[in-house]
Structure 1
Amino acid sequence: MKTSKDTGTGRRPGGRRLVVSVVASAVVVASAFTVTAWQKDDGKADSAKGDAVRTATAVVTRSDLSNARTLDGNLGYGRATTVKGGRPGLITWLPPTGATVKRGEPLYRVDNVPVPVFYGGTPLYRTLEARGTTGPDVKTVADNLRELGYDIGAQPAAGTWVTPEPATSEPVPSGTSSAVPASSAAPSPSATPVQVKRGDAVLTAALVAAVKRWQTATGMPATGVLGAGDIAVLSGAVRVDGVQAQLADAADGTLMTVTSTTKSVTVPVDPDEAGSMKRGDAVTVTLPDDSTARGTITAVGATVRTGDASSGDDTAGQPRLTVGIALRDTAAVRGLNSAPVRVRFTSETHKGVLTVPVGALLALREGGYGVQLPSGRLVAVKTGMFSKGLVEVSGAGISAGTKVVTTS
């Protein structure tokens, strides 16, 4: 009896051959029943050795096949970030756990003065007081005040020379010599000019005036000066995950942890399997009540971490990458803050291909595979993807609706 060999393409590109063993087992099982149906000289099947095999017929169908894997994940608000205070004083107000804080809203109060949230990537790292001060921290202030609806005036373009004024000087009117065009002569040696870089902003008189108006509206002293701890610069709106500080605690310590306001799913993945997962790929998330929600891969981590051995799960101590998933169906998780979920990843899909049950495959004596028609004639086929007991086939004489013999 001729040994069958797998010529299918059922594998996961870029990762482990997850389905090779499954496919091989399926083909061996199928061959154990059907490999005895070899072709005779007259093109008919020789069933002398297969009288005890129970057979049935199946219809060749056209359908979609895909290789998929389901992994365990966690629904939540993402990784928590620690918020620390940046100025001396005592905490006089803290938000409740679960609260959402947006741009311009107070995250906490120090000595009964609000510390509002600004969005950005550069926090205030110095006192912003002197006209002409230039830097990315000034841009954080300018961008947020503009988004909050304040008129900040025109900003000097990148490449412009700006001479910072002493902090105690009178405000410099907008458009005066505090900004010298880069094409003109450099300022006198006694000055300390700086050139505006791309991504910077300048503390102009108009911007200082906007700061004062905003301070008045938010209940802060209207000085036009901002210190390093006067605002909390975060990447966006946040949800208060937990509060560590208490009222009357010193304001320059750890205060709370915050997360994103959007629920998402994280999945720890074997690094070998992550190669077939790409940003933008669609996934299906199964929730604890067995309902499903659609999702999209938003990030595939580049840092390998070892699972926590104290967690008790099967992956403890094994290297893992974290895959992030955004949910399209947010209504499905409205009542959940956190939960274990199952995520179905599809690594490869063949659409509109001809399929037959794996049990219909015959290992031909001359090599390759074939299927047997009810008349007994064998038709050679080329195999493709194997998935869920079906195999992709193609070949002359095979089309949708063709009946073939299969094991029952």
Structure 2
Amino acid sequence: MRHLHKGVSFAIGLTLLGASLAACGGGGSTSSDGQLELTIGTFTNFGYDNLITEYERLHPNIKITHHKTGEGGPYHQNLITKLAANSGLEDVVAVEEGHFSDIIDKSGKFNDLNEIGPKDVTASRWLPWKYDAGKDKDGRLIGYGTDIGPLAMCYRKDLLAAAGLPSDPEGVKSLFATWDSYFSTGQTYVDKTRKPWFDASSQLYNSMINQLDTGYLDRNDKLTIETNPGIKAAWDRITTAIGQGQSAKLVAFGNEWKTGFQQGAFATTVCPSWMLGVIKEDAGADNAGKWAVTAAFPNGGGNWGGSYLTVPKQSKHPNQAAELAAWLTAPEQQLEAFAAAGNFPSQVQALSSPDLLSKTDPYFGDAKVGQLYAEQSRKVAKAQYKGPGDGQIQENVTSPALQAVEQGAPAAQAWQQVVDGAKKIVK
């Protein structure tokens, strides 16, 4: 699943949450005909419909009820509400990686999957950084990894060519090798075209922060925003680029941003695997072949998106729930989910599958997108620890502050807004 911090406020009305809580039942039981009943909760599209039917066929003694929610924001706030109430959660609960930090201090309310899950499910199933990010700071495995969003760069071939820059996917790799080369090329592009280089500053800034060894919080859940030099360095770099005219000053996932894809309002965009579908939808058929994707990302690699399947201690059947979660996150099933919904798998065996590696996309010039993103997924060095409130700082503090800079606010003033806002979230 894609990362869900899109500028939508994290705060959801409690009245709405209460109604949602009442409408959605919790853990499983046993039916009148003797079947074990399990429930699973997900959001958007995990590609699980056919897989759940298949699991029931393989396990005729089990009946599964799948609760699906369209939007991830209300889903995750509802999850926090149910945790606090200690009731109402499903046997298997999906958690998006951007919200995983909000349950990490509540990890005692979840089962350790290394204890209750199938013993043949080991760390070797997953990319190391994906597996590690599913653990709490005490080393308990809280979530089985589902999909990921490895980062590449997407760009308009025609716009780069018109500016006299390389435009083929191999030729542009050096442009996107480091943040220095990326912003230097951006300045060249702006000087030659008087047009923006990238779409939205928050997209780049969040990627830069996620590449740091330590993010907004350390492993003791202490705020690092004033002591971590990498955070301020990234801020200075991105706000300098804004001042140079490199940003199109758009709000990611807003209507003007979507229109920008159609009109060529910017030349480059951060491109996790799921972004290919967004570009195709927003840019439209008329721009097929103009957009390209390359196996490069500044300073190596990164990830934006993906989820985990957890088993809350509310479940009445934790062992059976863990078996279901383990089966859904096995390489074979993740390849099925990839085929059904485009969710890029995090399992080592799946990443070497011919079905994945042969996947191409004609919209992007028949790019071998399966092979490309498999390669990018292995460039992620390690999982950055995400403490409670990390996602809220990104969504509700840094992104609005960067938008303020794009609209003319002094960078120093906006930075103080970031510091003050982060301190309110992490007290």
Which structure has the greater CA radius of gyration? 1
- Please indicate the TM-score interval, normalised by the length of the shorter structure: under 0.3
Q: Report which of the two has the higher share of strand.
A: 1
Q: Report which of the two has the higher share of helix.
A: 2
TM-score, L = length of structure 2: 0.21
TM-score, L = length of structure 1: 0.22
